Structure 1
Amino acid sequence: MTALTLVIPIFGLVVIGWLAALTGVLSERVSEGLSEYVFAIAIPALIITTLTRPGMSGEIAWGYWFSYFGGVAVAWATASFIGIRREGVDRRGAVLHGFAASQSNTIFVGVPMILQAYGEDGAFPLFMLLAVHLPLMMGAATFLIEADGNRSLKDRLQGLGLVLIKNPIFLALLTGMAMKVFGIIPGGMVKTLLSDIGSTASTCALIALGAALRRYRVLHDLPGASIIAALKLGVHPLAVYVLAFHVFTMPTAYAGVAVLFAAMPVGINSYLLAARYRTEQGVIAASLLVSTIAGAATTVGWLLVLGRA
């Protein structure tokens, strides 16, 4: 029931966005503008608010990072390998397939689910992983998408640097981390503005996703979307589970947090990135929807495996 009460409202927002676009309440121009707002304003505000939150402290062993991102590597490589062999999918599309299969929906589903399962014991490893997850995943995806086989490594890195400087999410991460290091905590009107804008990210992103489903042939994209969803909900958490519980040593709560983090549905950032580069939007949007629906059952399964349901 915990999983269902978290997933059903999320799916409901997607349906509202889809119905709004289907009935003409939201035009295509408005839905595209909503996606831009989420990517450029709402999510950056949410990132700064999260990274400057006071309180949490602890120690993270290297095994924790290797367990989670080792699972990421397995899911990403598998999805990219399958994607590049599908008709009509180019190199950039294969990168996005891999990114979607390993990019977790953490803010919208993961945070409340994991905090309910592990409480205070899971708060520190959760938010540390959240802080590292986005820049590392977005950086890797951006580098691979922007990479040109005819360019030198130096040119690729310079190109990536230019892309990141213009990326609102990376700018927000840099700002939030710098504020954390120097002990700057937003207060007063600034805190209120950041909090109010950041609180719109989830709702607007999911409605924008639902509106996008109206523009794409979701049924046509279901085979590819189902593969991505299966890798995200099955292969990714399974690989993390094996590494966290049977290869590396760490507190049980840390291992459980890593597994549940990996077991979340496809993250909204994969759709936003696909929309940004205007490629594979249909299959990525469909994979987010499929994985969110199926995630209600698979998350309950992982909670049972971890002894938390």
Structure 2
Amino acid sequence: MNALFIIAPIFGIVLIGWGAALAGLLSEKVSDGLSEYVFAVAVPALILATLTRPGMSGEIAWSYWISYFGGAAVSWLTGTLIAKRRAGVERRGAILHGFAASQSNTVFVGVPMILQAYGDEGAFPLFMLLAVHLPLMMGSATFLIESDSDKPILARLRGLALVLLKNPIFVALIIGMALRGAGITPSGIPKALIDAFAGTASTCALVALGAGLKRYRVLFDLKGAVVIALLKNMLHPLAVWLLAFHVFAMPTAYAGVATLFAAMPVGINAYLLASRYKTETGMIAASVLVSTLMAPLSALFWLTVLGKA
């Protein structure tokens, strides 16, 4: 029942947002604006509030990173190899299939669910993983896709750095870590403002995700979308779970956070990259929708495996 209490409010809000969009109560402009607010203001505030909280501390061993990104590599490689066997999927498209199979929806679903499941014990490993996940996954995908580009490597790396420095979540992680390292804790009016915005992050993120589902279509390639969704929701967390719990030694909360992080549905960044490079857009959009609709059951399964039921 604990697992149901964790996922029911989360995916209930997503369904309400989706239903409101389908009924015309929320327009695409509202959905886009809410998504921008969550990405640019609410989640960065949540990150700052969490990382500067008194008593927030921890230590991350290499086994934690290897477990998560090793699992991501397994899912990415599997997705790419499967895509290469499909007719009409070119090199960039195959890379995007693999990326979608390993890119977690961290901001809109992962942060609310993991904090609900593990609380303060999971906050530090969650945000440390979030800090590395964004640049490493996006950087790897961009580099692989553009590896056949005429641009020199330094130019590609410079472009990636500029993209990251313009990302509010990445900037918030850098500022939060700097404040934490300096022992500075916001207080008074700054703290009140940060907490006010941070308190809106989860609900607004879930409503924005639900409302945004209206624009995605499953009929483009249901079979392919289901394959990507299964790789993302089941293979990725399975590989991480095996590494975190059965190969390496780490605190139980850390291993659980890594597994749940991997169990999140396909992230919106996969669709954004597909749109940017104008390939496999319909397939990736369909996989976002299918994996999100599949997520309540897969999340319930993994919460049960992790002993949160």
- Given the two structures, how large is their TM-score scaled by the length of structure 1? 0.80
1:168-187 counterparts in 2 under 5 A?
A: 168-187=168-187
- Residue-by-residue CA offset, 1:122-147 (whole Å, 9 max, x unaligned): 55444433443334334434544566
- 1:117 Cα offset (Å): 5.7
Output the aligned Cα RMSD.
3.4
Work out the CA distance in 2 between the residues paired with 1:203 and 1:272: 23
1:150-189 counterparts in 2 under 5 A?
A: 150-189=150-189
- 1:67 Cα offset (Å): 1.2
The residue type equivalent to 1:259 in the other structure is T
Partner of 2:227: 227
Q: Assess, with a 3 A threshold, how the Cα gap between structure 1 residues 84 and 213 changes in structure 2: closer, same or farther.
A: farther
- 1:157 Cα offset (Å): 0.9
Q: Assess, with a 3 A threshold, how the Cα gap between structure 1 residues 56 and 81 changes in structure 2: closer, same or farther.
A: same
Work out the CA distance in 1 between the residues paired with 2:32 and 2:108: 20
1:287-306 counterparts in 2 under 5 A?
A: 287-306=287-306
1:249-288 counterparts in 2 under 5 A?
A: 249-267=249-267, 270=270, 283-288=283-288
Work out the CA distance in 2 between the residues paired with 1:279 and 1:229: 18
Q: Is the 8 A contact 2:17 2:206 kept in 1?
A: yes
The residue type equivalent to 2:204 in the other structure is C
Work out the CA distance in 1 between the residues paired with 2:39 and 2:118: 30
Work out the CA distance in 2 between the residues paired with 1:306 and 1:152: 45
Work out the CA distance in 2 between the residues paired with 1:198 and 1:275: 30
- Given the two structures, how large is their TM-score scaled by the length of structure 2? 0.80
Q: Is the 8 A contact 1:7 1:292 kept in 2?
A: no
Q: Assess, with a 3 A threshold, how the Cα gap between structure 1 residues 113 and 21 changes in structure 2: closer, same or farther.
A: closer
Partner of 1:37: 37
- 1:183 Cα offset (Å): 2.1
Partner of 1:61: 61
- Residue-by-residue CA offset, 1:2-43 (whole Å, 9 max, x unaligned): 333333333333333333333333333333333333333333
Question: After the TM superposition, which of the residue ranges 123-132 and 173-182 deviates more from structure 2?
Answer: 123-132
Q: Assess, with a 3 A threshold, how the Cα gap between structure 1 residues 144 and 183 changes in structure 2: closer, same or farther.
A: farther
- 1:174 Cα offset (Å): 2.0
Q: Assess, with a 3 A threshold, how the Cα gap between structure 1 residues 271 and 152 changes in structure 2: closer, same or farther.
A: closer
Partner of 1:81: 81
Q: Is the 8 A contact 2:42 2:197 kept in 1?
A: yes
- 1:181 Cα offset (Å): 1.8
Work out the CA distance in 1 between the residues paired with 2:228 and 2:22: 26
The residue type equivalent to 1:198 in the other structure is A
Work out the CA distance in 2 between the residues paired with 1:122 and 1:166: 27
Partner of 2:202: 202
Partner of 2:11: 11
Work out the CA distance in 2 between the residues paired with 1:286 and 1:122: 31
Q: Is the 8 A contact 2:131 2:170 kept in 1?
A: no
Q: Is the 8 A contact 1:125 1:254 kept in 2?
A: yes
Q: Assess, with a 3 A threshold, how the Cα gap between structure 1 residues 205 and 100 changes in structure 2: closer, same or farther.
A: farther
The residue type equivalent to 2:258 in the other structure is A
Q: Is the 8 A contact 1:146 1:160 kept in 2?
A: no
- 1:230 Cα offset (Å): 0.7
Q: Is the 8 A contact 2:3 2:308 kept in 1?
A: no
Work out the CA distance in 2 between the residues paired with 1:82 and 1:241: 22
Please state if 1:238 is matched with 2:251. no
Partner of 1:50: 50
Work out the CA distance in 1 between the residues paired with 2:47 and 2:276: 19
Gaps of 5+ in 1: none
